[in-house]
Structure 1
Amino acid sequence: MISNSTKEFQNKVLSKMTFTPFFMGTHTIYKNENKPELGYFIKYSREDYYDFGIGNYTISSNFSLSFDHTEELMRFGTVYTGETKFKIDNNNVSSFSPSSFFTVEKKLKGTQYWEKGKHLHGSEITIYKKYFDEVIKPNFPNTIDFDSFITNYTYSYLPLEIAFIIQQLRSLSESRSLTPIYLESKILECIAIIYNELYFSQENAFTNQLNYGKIKIGKDRYITLTASDANSLKKAYDILTKEACNPPTIKSLSKMVFLNEQKLKAGFLSKYHMTISEYTDSIRMSIAENLLSTTELSVDEISKIIGYNYSSNFVKRFKDVHKKTPLVFRKIKK
């Protein structure tokens, strides 16, 4: 069983849960009247533009559902209870535990799994690209669009203001006083908050939440690189490129790029496939090759230019790299 759209996916899941829709005027409630203990799912919707869903239910049987969605949408909300298990193509994430979340989906493909007896409780807002194309962009052309975000990545984060808005919407729903116009005003407010977060924070939380992969530290320890870490590694790379002949110590470089020494060393090796010393050494050897080929400078002079205190150390290192001494290299190149 494969779902080809978010709406179809949702309907199939609710059917598997034995829920029947009941239209209540401003919203639809899905439930099993014969088994009220299974809970409910409430959906407010402006068709093809956005949805607001509130779920508080228990899974009645084991099932899974595959999906291959071509649509683009933005989803954010909070899972209060329950773990979601899934397998997304080209993504190593396999579960989602209770927390706030934000994601932009595009051409999402994979499979989701449900286990009998598991209880899930949460609320989420879904905004479809059509709403951005037909409502947001024509009226607010300089606000966010879907290209502002990495697609198919779940940020474990929401601005507190949005979390409070979702709580407020849930509360109004419970008192049966959530109106369509009020819901849309709050969805627009959420978009405005996300826009401010992206463009008026020096290092916005969405960017810093990006997962840039795991790196190995020690025998069996792995840590996650954030976007901020990746930026620090790039700064370290640039500093070392510029100062290769007189590189800072690991301790000094760590302070310069605001990254601890352990993560700096492991992250650099993982990202650039060589240690920091191997990288600076490769630049020094490259400079030496150029000077040997284009100048009459002595080996001793060249060794000092590229940062070796003793020419013998330079000769030894050069020979290790080129399998010949600097003088032999010079003769061959001329």
Structure 2
Amino acid sequence: MVTIKVNSLPVDLVIKDLATAFQLPYQLNCREYLVELSENVGEGYIKAMMLESGLGIIEYHCKFKMDVEIQFVKDFTHPLKFLYCTKGSVNHRFSNEDVLHELQEYQQAIVASQDYNGHVISLKKDQEVNLYSLEMDRERFMLYDECSSELIKSDLNDIFGDVLAKKSFYHEGYYSLALAEVFEQINSFDDNYFLRTIFMISSGYQLLGNQIAQYQDDLNNEDNRHILRQYEVSRVREAVQFIHENIERTNTINDICKEVGLTETKLQEGFKILYGSTINNYINDIRLNLASQLLRSTNFNISEIVYKVGLTSRSYFSKIFKEEYQMTPTEYRQMHIKKPSLDN
């Protein structure tokens, strides 16, 4: 294992220390520092940028050829870290503890060390990792002075109010879809470095705002959480696949929730975000699309079609079909019957 000691803040020192340890050059473009891994070290890159008001961000997009342990050292209070693993897995521990916290894909953690103790991040050999680390110098963050009285009264005080790092803090979970969208925007942003700097400052505040909202949502029990996590998106898509494959069955929303392991609140939220629809409206759209195909391309009678789209009432089917197509199923079929060509 290769062990590297790096400074914590400002984040440009992280890049400089990594470059020195691997005997690699680094680049500076506007505020952004970048070190690209050489063939003997691995592949990918690590970049970092100081934003505003004590905020900085480090991006790890890399695969090392050896196990790597990065030890963050500092002679005063370490920054509050918001870690987001979007690919692969990483291990985190506090420098004064042996307990390892593994962050896997879709997971995030809020970490704060006690006193002057640092953080240790471990990356495994031959594993591609994407890790974002939003770093906050709590003492310099500008909102503390203006909002300190409000902060003390809120459930955020354990995270943001401990400016002198009197105790350690660790909170782990799955990051939200809103956070995932910010990471995608950061990864795909391709413009000159002046605009990228402005964009990254904005992204830093977006990450912080969404993270605070998610942390407060995390404090609720699971049945009362409303923010959709990124890993839950795949379950929403599983629900869509289940609906398509079982449209002939009259499944309730509760049946679908049990099938994919989400609460109705989370599933409804997922459909709203991903498809702009409620679950029932989405199911009705699937049924009506299938019904229209069957009316155009088969000789099934109306009762058979009602059964095949998972309904039991012919009158209800006719009602929702007419609302969608402004004609009855029989009129729709007649309109789409192929008429013989005049040339024949």
TM-score (norm 2): 0.47
Considering only CA atoms, is the larger Rg found in Structure 1 or Structure 2? 1
Q: Which has the higher contact order (CA 8 A, sep 6+)?
A: 2
Which structure has greater strand proportion? 1
